[in-house]
Structure 1
Amino acid sequence: MALTSIALTPRIGSEVRLDKAALLAGDHAADIRELLVSRGALVFRGLHLNDEELRTVARSLGDLRIGSAKRGADGKVLTEGDRGVLKVSLDPKVNPDYAKFLFGNLLWHMDGTYEPVPPFATLFTPARLSREGGDTMFASTYAAFEDLPQAEQDDLATLRVVHTMQAALFPAKRDCTAEEFAVWSSYPQRSHPLVWQHKSGRRSLVLSTSGAWVEEMHPAESHDLLQRLMLHATQDRYTYRHKWTPGDLAIWDNTGTMHRAMPFEAGSTREFHRCTLNGEEPITAPDLASARAAATVA
């Protein structure tokens, strides 16, 4: 079966038409990866993948993350679910390791900002949907960067941002206890360039609620800059909102796309199954001097 796709918005998101057998066979994996990087987020309808089928699709597209993902502040190894399939739920009985952190998913973020090489992509399919709300939104940090004036692009390319757990979670839980905040603060922080120079030649903003401050910048100016860029990158023109139906599969490029879950009812049994593809390149800052030299020669 041939692969076809329909753009869901002009700048991000495509619905892919491909039957389940063809997807599992992996014959179109290269085309799907190319479309994924180009469009940021892909949606497949009516697949109803079980966990083993989800693993099969993930392995056709990249290196499936299996085993320990990170070590918690208490020394406990947080695994990536059952052989690479993680149950995403706020119910601690369903996901005892991550449920206490997943409320942060309601804010714009990219995954892996605490890692030297963030994950490449995520595959996401519903097991149980919420009664109300629970849509997922995606924002293209490629398109948001590309639309900025050249002078601003160059200025931003010189900056680095520190990412922390408390920056990611406190805005989503302002009434946290002192003990909770202390746990968040005990996790390692990491500095990344604000602009990612990808091996493909494209550039994207490295934005996430986890971005705590811009290095070597006054705190007030740092706050204002990060807030302004977040508002810029999440304008309607750069976003796609997906309303879930049973059997859907969404795949997004974590290196050039932010995502968030929209609010849903308290006590919901909402549950998704997730596969993560390991990262393939570190976040590298643009070499502006080389770029300017090349432009001058040209």
Structure 2
Amino acid sequence: MTLSSVRLTPRIGSELKITKADLLGGSMATDIRALLVARGAVVIRDLHLDDEELRTVARSLGDLRLGSAKRASDGKLLNEGDGGVLKVSLDPKVNPDYARFLFGNHLWHMDGTYEAVPPFATLFTPFRLSVEGGDTMFASTYAAYEDLPADEQRQLDGLRVVHTMQAALFPAKRDCTPEEFAVWSSYPQRSHPLVWQHKSGRKSLVLSTSGAWIEGMHAAQSHDLLQRLMVHATQDKYTYRHQWRLGDLAIWDNTGVMHRAMPFEPGSQREFHRCTLNGEEAITAPKRELAEAS
């Protein structure tokens, strides 16, 4: 069987044409992974997966993330969900561990910037939709890097960025309390190369709202450069905006794509179920930087 898909934009996003039975059977998993990496985001309509089916699809594509992680502020565990399926909702009754942080999802980000090995991919399907808004946008950081002039690529290849929770959340909640800011500040920081040299040979920008500053650069210059790169990477030609319908499944390559949830009505019951695939390679600096450091 040949995989059938339609490009949603020239640079990112494909709609995969596949039956639910064939998807769950897993025989096309290798081809789906290849399409995912090539196109950044893959969507499938009219599947209506339940949680066990979502797990099945996830396991066919990679290593399903399970278990819990410690919360830095008080040492309590954050549950990754029931058997690897996390309910993504701003309602603390639905998602008691993460709801108070999820407002940050409205800003451009990649997941796992505080980890040495970020997640490979995310599978996302709606359970309840918002009345207004709530689309999800994706931006290719592969394409954004590839279109930069060669001299600028060389300059960026040698830079490192520190990622922090307060950088990720404060822009989305400027009226936070000192106590909230203190909780965000209690989370560990992580330094990553600004450019990721993937094992495949491709390079992508490691961009996220969590990027707080560039190491060794004046604060003002660092701010301006990160802001300019974010504007560059989120141009229309690098993005795809998905308008959700019940039954949809979206899968995106977290290692080369940023995403964001567009605003929706206050008090919304919007709820999605998410599976995360564990990372498969650490963020590695381009060879130029490695050679200079040796």
Which TM class, normalised by the smaller chain length?
A: over 0.9
Alignment of 1:166-205 (within 5 A): 166-205=166-205
Q: Deviations over 1:271-298 (max 9, x none)?
A: 0000000000000000127899xxxxxx
Q: Deviations over 1:156-194 (max 9, x none)?
A: 000000000000000000000000000000100000000
**CA distance change for structure 1 residues 221 and 289 in 2, over 3 Å: closer, same or farther?**
closer
Structure 1 unaligned residues grouped into runs of 5+: 293-298
Residue 2 of structure 1 contacts residue 18 of structure 1 at CA under 8 Å; is this kept in 2?
no
Counterpart position of 2:73: 73
Give the Cα–Cα distance (whole angstroms) in 2 for the partners of residues 253 and 74 of structure 1. 31
Give the Cα–Cα distance (whole angstroms) in 2 for the partners of residues 155 and 122 of structure 1. 31
Residue 72 of structure 2 contacts residue 188 of structure 2 at CA under 8 Å; is this kept in 1?
no
Counterpart position of 2:42: 42
Residue 157 of structure 2 contacts residue 289 of structure 2 at CA under 8 Å; is this kept in 1?
no
* Paired residue type of 1:64: L
Secondary structure at the counterpart of residue 273 of structure 1: strand
* Paired residue type of 1:46: D
Give the Cα–Cα distance (whole angstroms) in 2 for the partners of residues 29 and 189 of structure 1. 35
Counterpart position of 1:165: 165
Counterpart position of 1:57: 57
Shift of 1:239: 0.1
Secondary structure at the counterpart of residue 119 of structure 2: coil
Alignment of 1:243-258 (within 5 A): 243-258=243-258
Alignment of 1:101-120 (within 5 A): 101-120=101-120
Q: Deviations over 1:226-257 (max 9, x none)?
A: 00000000000000000000100000000000
Counterpart position of 1:130: 130
* Equivalent pairs, count: 292
Residue 134 of structure 2 contacts residue 262 of structure 2 at CA under 8 Å; is this kept in 1?
yes
Structure 2 unaligned residues grouped into runs of 5+: none
Give the Cα–Cα distance (whole angstroms) in 1 for the partners of residues 172 and 154 of structure 2. 32
Secondary structure at the counterpart of residue 100 of structure 2: coil
Alignment of 1:252-291 (within 5 A): 252-288=252-288
Shift of 1:72: 3.4
Residue 72 of structure 1 contacts residue 78 of structure 1 at CA under 8 Å; is this kept in 2?
no
Moved over 4 A (4+): 289-292
Give the Cα–Cα distance (whole angstroms) in 1 for the partners of residues 73 and 10 of structure 2. 42
Residue 42 of structure 1 contacts residue 251 of structure 1 at CA under 8 Å; is this kept in 2?
yes
* Paired residue type of 1:155: Q
Counterpart position of 1:5: 5
Counterpart position of 2:227: 227
Counterpart position of 1:88: 88
* Paired residue type of 1:43: V
Superposition RMSD on alpha carbons, in Å?
1.2
Give the Cα–Cα distance (whole angstroms) in 2 for the partners of residues 253 and 206 of structure 1. 13
Give the Cα–Cα distance (whole angstroms) in 2 for the partners of residues 290 and 254 of structure 1. 24
Give the Cα–Cα distance (whole angstroms) in 2 for the partners of residues 203 and 69 of structure 1. 29
Shift of 1:68: 1.2
Shift of 1:77: 1.1
Q: Deviations over 1:108-139 (max 9, x none)?
A: 00000000000000000000000000000000
Secondary structure at the counterpart of residue 101 of structure 1: helix
Counterpart position of 1:17: 17
Shift of 1:69: 3.6
Secondary structure at the counterpart of residue 230 of structure 2: helix
